[in-house]
């Protein structure tokens, strides 16, 4: 058991790697854990190296439940509930989705849920091998964790792969409010030192040993969600938890739910381009870990690129079973791992540039029905990221950063093509009765 | 051709195996077919052993169409139409879903549809090899079977596997009213004696020879449905068949359908726990035959367990193509066979206990939008089933058996966590206008 | 480079092969390209044979954007926007879906979009290998092509397979308005002469060399769409493009979209039977190229037949991974190639007759909620097609060709089964309050 002083980084906010400001010597473990800015010293504690292979095998994570409001696309502020590392004082590093948690095969994992929220919650480790009592299903395997209470989810990490964790209390509401994140079990390797909490998912600040062995040069965790803004408005609109309970859990009919906001790592287009791009370079192999934390059956399309499916729900596909396509179906709660091979090889990749990637269910690439929006992000080749933090595109993305666009206040096309001006646009024509009588169609929610 | 006196069991109601009360000698066939209680002597007739291998190869089943009302979860009574074995006198053994039918490869099968209902119907044997005239598509392969008429569907069972049968008249309505069941063709083996009709699906009372050969110790047929209660209310609310025809087939717009009740073997949580549990024991291999008889794209999640996919739509996957995951996509009308390996092996199973299993599309694990509900059932290990017929859970399930819960009349959380009492709960706070103006969201259907 | 005089056929309208009326010598290329009736001489230009293997390797296609109205089922006229070969004078050969385009691996392809419409558009070649600048994503890879402008999409065809092309401007609207078609890259073979534009998709008038080599005797392109008639009514109901822009792109909320018309190759049942049947003969192998150009997750069911999946999204599955089932899941934008083996072999096919094929999501086999409708077509064996161009069915399809049926003006069942007449049908019973109070259900859109 060696004493290491390794650098643990945390991704904060928009996929920026923040160097720790004040390393904390962890006396009983000899690991120096860099502080996560804004988090308490106890948010992540790395314990003993049980198998003597040079990395910590006792991982303790303390999560709170935090209600936050985020601007997911220009002008759209949405209320979320997320699991967040235990905060320090009044600060919080809460971010939607809940952090990507990474542990190693064989680790003794302790995730302590400290319910700092006004509703009961649990954590269900989805897809992992764990004792029944740690399954997080209220009433069935435990009592729900009430406000002010704690519960320690303890298990030894077994089968490596890409998993999921989420609240299992009233899941038709709580999962979609944001109490969901990716859980990765990295294969056991010596000196396997990596960041254990990636806030907001996105680019991995470092690769685990097995990922490097497999030939990857980069890795991303991509968490997709779908939101019904009308549900998320309830806790923003009412103050009394009893009123919120009644409206969210008894009035709101989730069976009639039709989501209208579509998120990748907590953002919708155009913010996705800035906050969660897929940066690549030719010749590199990129590992994409994808979780559909929403309800919709996703069909993920990579423009110009044909990734290879390597894992389903964490389990590797035998090499002969791996296949390549351009639209991958990912159902609710499913995870797939893809191997993306940027380059120009006439089979897997079309060459450098800026390529969009999105669910091909067209309505999901809108923001409340206004296109383009939703979970579109871009695969950006080296040299194609601009100094402004946005990919270098053919024209300009400016109008999509104007909240007026997604409010439907301005025409989606340049008025000049209709030989008119913006000023005259909506006053240039009289509203007339439609031909053939009136008819209705789904109209955007008024603001 | 030997003369056997074998015991044919029938599963009635809640997965209880009922011993036959009055065996009936079947003179021309020499098989003694135990009477299905409530069914006529002609409901199931086993004929000659054509290949001389010790089991009957002429199977005749007489089905009626019966309108029934079932309590699918506490307080929710739903009208269904089902295929049911020909009844005796005024009795009926109708149950939703329609019975699981099992025959053997090579059998000469005769399913006689006796239309005892007020609407026309047919039977489409879905996925089997059969003559075109037996395909059950109205107008295309036959005239629909009108009220009072009969039609005999006759074919020789070919490819073994898990199939489906359902009415093909106005299928957007009739299938979802319950005229759907699982059809299994067992591989041909000597002395292959098994129950031919499993009422309401669920646990198989006996295994076919090939299932035993494959190493299975238990087998379940799991039929999933999704129901729009507003459709099923129509025949409950009107009396004249013409009025029912008009409202169900011309007014009701199935393209705008959003189901709100989700069934496994005809029950929603919590009744599923009692009526259709998956009982297992460590070390045993369990065969799950799963049919999505509804319309939704299901994502079936097994907590703590990773089954292996062995068959799709009845056809075996080559061994090298079988894969293991924790969320299986099952589309409308698709069938999958899973191998579940209860135990504690660090790969396929997490060990003993009570583990829930459900569609992971969260809205489908509600009852009309109130959670928990829908198709949740439990994988219950030996020793974990209580004397009350419910799995031994961490707390209590009592409140879910109270119809008030699913009517939305009581808070879903214990009022004490809000420092209030049930009496004061809804009167303790004044209804106020929401912040930022009014807004609408999908509200549960009023009762 | 030889000088060939080969016959290029075009499928017009309802899968009829039209012999070219006035061949045009293409001076600089020496290929004689038969004229596509109604198209200009420049709509399809075949250039040089670059690799000297006896077929043209420079393919130029000129597409316009045309607004058309089609009767998709009896009485239902729907407005579409389609890509169509450049027209001649006032004629147009526009048809929904946009034409199936076929080119050869290695071809230098030029698809010139001439925007003859009042809105901006682009073409995204979906799934192919092509330069970033040819990806067709507005703002990201190019400026949208404004009304009156042109853009030339140029790329060398690489990986062979079944692909897709569609407008990428406001795709939640434009794709579903009909700006979508199948794009096939045929493997490179000598003397590979085939029709490059198949108007309206459907049966291929000729097979490419590699398809013949693979043992196929027939081939179909099957393009599925789902339509919300309320969206398509907007450009029919308003005249000013600004008003259309506002209503289609800012008012209409595509996230709340629920399609109500379901098309195969631009038609719904019963027109599908006449316009896009799958004609087969026993012993022949038939290649089905299937594109889900709509949004719904399709579950395609072939009655009595079990095709084998050979390709996903254009890429061949290794032979050992190919599987056979009867319900294939096809997500939005996905393509599958199936091998259908008509015959009577007890495994893959049930024998001669008329077998329906359809999405098994029951609501999609209705026309605005009235059954039968939607994308049902029939697999018709040799000898089973009638002289009237409809398959020989068990009874009569006449009533489905009467617009009154899909307006809901006549009962879906023969009134005689209720011991009444059509005259008395709706007047024979008084409208009464339903038992147990009133309730609502999704009602068909009024006409």
Instruction: Quick: pLDDT tens for B44-101.
Output: 999 999 999 999 999 999 999 999 999 999 999 999 999 999 998 766 789 999 999 9
| Burial (CB count <10 Å: 0-12, 13-18, 19+), residue C437 | exposed
Q: Is residue C20 within 8 Å of residue C9, measured between CB atoms?
A: yes
Alpha-carbon distance values, B312 to B161, B290, B334, B358 (Å): 9, 10, 8, 19
- Please calculate the CA angle C228-C229-C235 and round it to the nearest 5 degrees: 110
Which residue has better confidence, B391 or B13?
B391
Strand residue runs (E) in A74-160: 76-85, 100-104, 108-114, 124-126, 150-156
Cis peptide leading into A250, omega within 30 of 0?
A: no
The answer on pLDDT for A6 being more than 90 is no
Q: Name the band, by pLDDT with cuts 50, 70 and 90, for residue A133.
A: very high
Nearest to C230 among A413, A431, A440 (CB): A440
Six-digit token string for B399:
């409140």
Tokens standing for residue C45: 């230009």
Cα dihedral A224/A228/A231/A234 (nearest 10): 90
Q: Is the Cβ of B439 closer than 8 Å to some Cβ of chain A? A: yes
Interface contact flag, B253 C259, Cβ < 8 Å: no
Burial class (CB in 10 A: 0-12, 13-18, 19+), A21: exposed
pLDDT at B447 over 60: no
Q: What is the end-to-end Cα distance of chain C in Å, rounded?
A: 60
Count Cβ atoms below 10 Å from residue A13 Cβ, excluding itself.
12
Residues 83-122 on B with a CB inside 8 Å of C are: 118-120
Identity of the residue in B346, B362, B396 whose CB atom sits nearest the CB atom of A129: B346
Residue B430 vs residue C141, higher pLDDT: C141
- Helix-, strand-, coil-residue percentages of chain B, each rounded to 5: 15, 35, 50
Exposure class string for B25-44: b at 16+ Cβ within 10 A, else e: ebeebbbbbbbbbbbbeebb
Picking from A121-130, B308-317, C29-38, C330-339, which range would have the lowest pLDDT averaged per residue? C29-38
Structure tokens, A99 = 């952090």
Of A172, A258, A334, the CB nearest to B327: A334
C-alpha triplet C387, C389, C391: angle, nearest 5°:
90
pLDDT at residue B230 greater than cutoff 60 = yes
Question: What is the pLDDT, as a whole number, of residue A438?
Answer: 84
Residue B278 phi, psi (nearest 5): -105, 95
CA distance A294 to chain B (A): 8
Name the token pair of C27.
């001076």
DSSP designation for A281: -
CB contact under 8 A, A299 and C131: no
Q: What's the pLDDT score for residue B19?
A: 33
pLDDT at C432: 81
Touching chains, A (3+ CB pairs < 8 A): B, C
Position A278 confidence tier, pLDDT thresholds 50, 70, 90: very high
State residue C333's pLDDT score.
Answer: 98
Which range has the worst mean pLDDT, A195-199, A320-324, B376-380? Answer: A320-324
- Work out the end-to-end distance of chain A between its first and last CA atoms, rounded to an integer number of angstroms: 60
Identify the pLDDT of residue C427: 77
| Nearest by Cα to B200 from B279, B100, B73 | B100
- Please give the pLDDT value at position B91: 65
A430 pLDDT tier (thresholds 50, 70, 90): confident
CA–CA gap between residue A278 and residue B265 (Å, rounded): 44
* Residues facing C152 on adjacent strands: C112
Of A181-185, B20-24, C53-57, C346-350, least confident by mean pLDDT is B20-24
pLDDT at C89: 73
pLDDT at residue number C20: 35
Chain C CB contacts of B253 under 8 Å are 260, 368-369, 442-445
* CB burial of residue C243 (10 Å; 0-12, 13-18, 19+): buried
Chain B residues in contact with C303 by the CB 8 A cut-off are 124, 135, 137
Q: Which residues of A touch B260 (CB under 8 A)?
A: 253, 255-256
Q: What is the three-class DSSP state of A273?
A: helix
CB within 8 Å of chain C, chain B residues 332-391: 332-334
Q: Which of A172, C254, A447, A252 is nearest to B441 (CA)?
A: A252
Q: How far apart are the CA of A106 and the nearest CA of chain C, in angstroms?
A: 33
Is the pLDDT confidence value at A23 over 60?
Answer: no
Residues of B in contact with A126 (CB under 8 A): 301, 326
Q: Which of A238, A253, A317 sits opposite B323 (nearest CB)?
A: A317
Q: What is the pLDDT of residue A30?
A: 61
Record: contact A442-C233, CB cut-off 8 A: no
**Strand (E) or helix (H) holding B24:** strand B24-25
Average pLDDT of every residue of chain A: 91
Quote the radius of gyration of chain C (alpha carbons, Å). 23
Q: Inform me whether the pLDDT recorded for A89 exceeds 80.
A: no
> C92 is written with which tokens?
């147009």
B445 lies within 8 A of chain C by CB? yes
Please tell me the predicted confidence (pLDDT) of residue C5. Answer: 32
- Please tell me the predicted confidence (pLDDT) of residue B445: 74
How far separated are the first and last CA of chain B, in Å rounded? 60
Contact C186, C193 (CB under 8 A): no
Question: Exposure pattern of B232-249 as b/e (b: 16+ CB <10 Å)?
Answer: bbbbbbbebbbbbbbbbb
Cross-strand partners of B406? none
Task: Work out the angle at residue B52's Cα, subtended by the Cα atoms of residues B49 and B56, and round it to the nearest 5 degrees.
Answer: 25
Per-window interface: A 177-236 vs B, CB < 8 A: 228, 230-231, 233-234, 236
Is pLDDT of A324 > 90? Answer: yes
A315 lies within 8 A of chain B by CB: yes
Tokens at A325, concatenated: 């396509």
C129 min Cα distance to partner chain A (Å): 5
Instruction: Give the side-chain half-sphere CA count within 13 A for B393.
Output: 26
Cβ of residue B257 closer than 8 Å to a chain C Cβ: yes
- Tell me what pLDDT residue A339 has: 98
pLDDT attached to residue A29: 55
What's the gap in Å between the CA of C32 and the closest CA on chain B? 44
Buried (b) or exposed (e) across A78-112, using 16+ Cβ within 10 A?
bbbbbbbbbbbeeebbbbbbbbbbbbbbbbbbbbb
Report yes or no: A33 and A6 within 8 Å, Cβ to Cβ: no
**Would you state the pLDDT for residue C27?**
44
Alpha-carbon distance C277 to nearest alpha carbon in chain B (angstroms):
14
pLDDT for position B30: 61
* CB < 8 Å to A354, chain C: 132, 140-141
Q: What residues have CB less than 8 Å from A79, skipping those under 6 apart?
A: A67, A68, A69, A177, A232, A233, A235, A236
Alpha-carbon distances, residue B195 vs A7, B59, B101, B186, B398 (angstroms): 65, 12, 9, 11, 35
Model pTM? 0.94
* pLDDT of C183: 98
- Mutation pick from A292, A303, A378 vs chain C, by most beta carbons of C within 10 Å, is A303
List the subunits that have 3+ CB pairs under 8 angstroms with B.
A, C
pLDDT of residue B29: 55
> In this predicted structure, what is the pLDDT of residue A4?
32
Low-confidence ranges of chain C (pLDDT < 50): 1-27
* Half-sphere CA count of A231, side-chain side, radius 13 A: 27
Kindly report which listed range (A145-154, B222-231, C84-93, C383-392) carries the lowest average pLDDT score. Answer: C84-93
**Reported confidence tier of residue B446, pLDDT bands at 50, 70, 90:** low
Whether A444 and chain B come into contact, CB under 8 Å, resolves to no
CA B172 to chain centre: 18
Count of alpha carbons within 13 Å of B339, Cβ hemisphere only? Answer: 21
- Of A15-29, B290-304, C305-319, least confident by mean pLDDT is A15-29
């Amino acid at each position: 058991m060696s004493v290491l002083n390794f650098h643990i980084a945390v991704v904060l906010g928009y996929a920026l790697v923040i160097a720790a400001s004040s390393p904390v010597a962890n006396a009983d473990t000899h690991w120096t854990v860099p502080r996560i800015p804004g988090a308490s010293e106890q948010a992540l504690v790395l314990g003993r190296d049980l198998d003597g292979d040079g990395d910590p095998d006792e991982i303790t994570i303390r999560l709170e439940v935090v209600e936050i409001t985020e601007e997911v696309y220009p002008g759209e502020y949405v209320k979320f509930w997320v699991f967040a590392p235990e905060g320090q004082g009044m600060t919080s590093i809460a971010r939607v989705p809940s952090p990507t948690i990474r542990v190693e095969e064989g680790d003794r994992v302790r995730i302590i849920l400290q319910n700092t929220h006004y509703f009961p919650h649990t954590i269900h480790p989805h897809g992992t091998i764990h004792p029944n009592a740690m399954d997080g299903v209220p009433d069935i395997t435990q009592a729900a964790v009430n406000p002010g209470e704690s519960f320690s989810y303890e298990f030894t990490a077994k089968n490596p792969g890409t998993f999921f964790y989420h609240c299992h209390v009233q899941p038709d509401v709580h999962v979609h409010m944001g109490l969901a994140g990716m859980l990765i079990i990295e294969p056991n390797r010596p000196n396997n030192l990596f960041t254990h909490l990636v806030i907001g998912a996105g680019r991995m600040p470092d690769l685990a040993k097995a990922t490097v062995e497999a030939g990857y040069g980069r890795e991303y965790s991509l968490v997709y969600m779908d939101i019904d803004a009308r549900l998320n408005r309830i806790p923003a609109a009412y103050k009394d938890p009893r009123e919120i309970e009644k409206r969210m859990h008894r009035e709101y009919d989730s069976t009639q739910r039709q989501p209208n906001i579509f998120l990748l790592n907590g953002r919708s287009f155009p913010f996705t381009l800035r906050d969660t791009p897929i940066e690549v370079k030719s010749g590199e192999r990129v590992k994409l870990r994808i979780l559909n934390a929403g309800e919709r059956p996703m069909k993920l399309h990579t423009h110009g690129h044909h990734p290879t499916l390597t894992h389903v729900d964490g389990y590797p596909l035998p090499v002969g079973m791996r296949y390549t396509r351009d639209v991958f179906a990912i159902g609710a709660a499913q995870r797939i791992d893809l191997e993306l091979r940027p380059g120009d090889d006439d089979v897997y990749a079309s060459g450098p540039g800026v390529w969009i990637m999105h669910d091909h269910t067209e309505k999901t690439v809108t923001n409340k029905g206004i296109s383009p929006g939703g979970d579109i992000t871009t695969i950006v080749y080296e040299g194609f990221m601009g100094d402004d933090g946005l990919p270098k595109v053919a024209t300009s993305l400016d109008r999509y950063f104007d909240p007026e666009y997604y409010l439907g206040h301005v025409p989606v096309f340049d008025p000049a093509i209709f030989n008119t001006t913006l000023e005259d646009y909506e006053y240039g024509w009289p509203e007339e009765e439609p031909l053939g009588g009136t008819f209705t169609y789904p109209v955007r929610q008024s603001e």
